[in-house]
Amino acid sequence: MPVVTLPDGGQRHFDHPVTVDEVAASIGPGLRKAALAGRVDGKLVDTSYVIDKDARLAIVTDKDAEGIEILRHSTAHLLAQAVKELFPQAQVTIGPVIEDGFYYDFAYERPFTPEDIAAIEARMRELAQADQKVSRRVMAREEAVGFFKGLGEHYKAEIIASIPAGEPISLYGQGDWVDLCRGPHVPSTGKLKAFKLTKVAGAYWRGDSRNEMLQRIYGTAWPDKKQLDDYLKRLEEAEKRDHRRIGRDLDLFHMQEEAPGAVFWHPKGWRVFQTLIGYMRERQREAGYEEVNAPELMDASLWQQSGHLEKFGENMFLTRTPDERLYAIKPMNCPGHVQIFKHGLRSYRELPVRLSEFGKVHRYEPSGALHGLMRVRAFTQDDAHLFITEDQITAESVAVTRLILEIYRDFGFDDVRIKFADRPPKRVGSDEVWDRAEEALKAASTAAGIEYSLNPGEGAFYGPKLEFVLRDAIGRDWQCGTLQVDFNLPGRLGAHYIDEHSQKRTPVMLHRAIFGSLERFFAILLEHHAGRLPAWLAPVQAVVMNITSPQADYVVHTMEVLKKQGFRIETDLRNEKVGFKIREHTLQRVPYLLVVGDKEVAANSLAVRTRGGKDLGTMSVEAFAERFRTELESRGRRTLED
């Protein structure tokens, strides 16, 4: 009879097979009430799962990340049940968990209206309050296909056909409704107490534009109402900070259908973009990088040799010339940098060689995945590749890690989490090589004194990596920088150097990005700062404005003086009240508003205000310039208000 070992090492002995629910009950009524699922010998199972032999068991509750995922997936099923009850002709397809929520795709004869969504959510609440028991059963494949076809659920029948042979076909039921799912699920619908439907969008079946257009209903679910309300407040704040809205309001950029996934930069936006590049160029030069530039269009055979064509071919833009030669627009910069490293004989004395590029790359993203600057088809990477010996991995990785964290601090990101992503299922190179690469990166992480969490199976196809995740002002996480150790690609592309014994050796390659995509980092910055970029980054750093027309010449002279010192300054000489001007430039998030009246002209001074509404008093043009220069040099860590 089973002995159940708990996470704390304690054991429960039973004289008969027991369910996860019964084990939870034997520990205490509170745990039984909180139990959503169990993890038996590492496998997630329902609370109804029967343990009939010795096993290790952890009870999963809504305090666990896995428990919240189960809540969300079960709420997706609740959504589908409500839709089927209210709209019996609708067909259900898939309903997975996504970040902070879930969605379910439906095939229906007409679009769902806001009134429909309200009715669906109300019915979901009724079904949750009914506390319907959730049960699981397993069917033979052909029986399951027939079952769903009999219900008119042809999409479900198609999904079953795509499930690998040998995998069990499990169905979950609640009330009179049954769905195909591998589970696990909550024990009953009464566990689902805090949820909200958020939006409806179109989605192609299986993500293929050649297939039918479905309707995707999105929702969110949380363990309790407080967490739900907090999330909805974050959503509201995120909407205010949406970089697309800010980009339009501040006249930074736009996008249009004729160039899907590509950016039309306006003067102010391009000014910020170039400031980002100039900043990174300076930091990289100080850190010993040499900037290069490789072609955007290269023969497809190079990408075949590197392995990218096989791995990423469906996301690459390919073109065939009249002489039938196949070319690819580069989706990444690595092979081009290897070609530069290979050009000429390299000695071990030259290593490390650190090559950087602000490389324009193109990747095909489905239309439905495009999202402002966050997800584009044409973008610029602050890519760098370090060619080193194996003995140099630790020192160079430590230096890269420190550089990344310093740079993020300059942009106002002090909360940075690091993840270690190991070998993915599809990869190049032997397990022995991967072992060496993973151990080398772990050793470097230890030497750098950083803590990391694991992100299993998410390494690059040629090597493990560290992922740097920024937490923004409203608590959202953004994965931006990466550091990857690569023992594979240099050898595949024939790179070598001559060692101290005059022998050819293959270098190790470190792939490194900090912004990642400059376009995406730009968007993250806009949302993190709500458009109020630090003064050193702002497209317009100050506006000089007059109160009445007699001060116009002084305003222009002041602007010219400050511009000559490298400041991004504009004037506002419109025949408007100064209060109107101040309000307008405050809405434009201009850091400093410099007001000039007759007294300021007479004293050769400026009345200085901030976009936050603080009056900094009157100071001479020279004093303002000196204090402002100090702020810019400190990258915003010290402001005039200090």
> Catalytic site residues?
334, 363, 381, 383, 385, 465, 511
Dihedral in degrees, nearest 10, Cα atoms 400, 403, 404, 406: 160
Q: Which of 376, 378, 486, 399 is nearest to 437 (CA)?
A: 486
SS3 for 615? strand
264 touches 253 (CB < 8 A):
yes
Dihedral-angle region of residue 207 (phi above 0 means left; psi in -120 to 50 means alpha; beta otherwise): left
Dist CA 260 CA 244 (whole Å): 15
Dist CA 203 CA 218 (whole Å): 11
φ, ψ for residue 439 (rounded to 5)? -65, -40
- In SS3 terms, 30-53 reads as HHHHHCCEEEECCEEECCCCEECC
Q: Which of 29, 9, 30, 26 is nearest to 18 (CA)?
A: 26
246 touches 531 (CB < 8 A):
yes
Dihedral-angle region of residue 35 (phi above 0 means left; psi in -120 to 50 means alpha; beta otherwise): beta
Q: Which of 64, 65, 36, 47 is nearest to 192 (CA)?
A: 36
Q: Give yes or no for a cis peptide into 534 (omega within 30° of 0).
A: no
Residues with Cβ within 8 Å of residue 235, at least 6 apart in sequence: 198
**How far from the centroid of its chain's Cα atoms is residue 15's Cα?**
50
CA-CA distances (angstroms) from residue 503 to 386, 497, 509?
A: 21, 8, 19
SS3 for 412? coil
Dist CA 593 CA 382 (whole Å): 33
Q: Which of 246, 254, 285, 365 is nearest to 317 (CA)?
A: 365
Residues with Cβ within 8 Å of residue 337, at least 6 apart in sequence: 292, 294, 355, 357, 383, 385
Tell the residue number behind the tokens 């968007």, with chain if given: 523
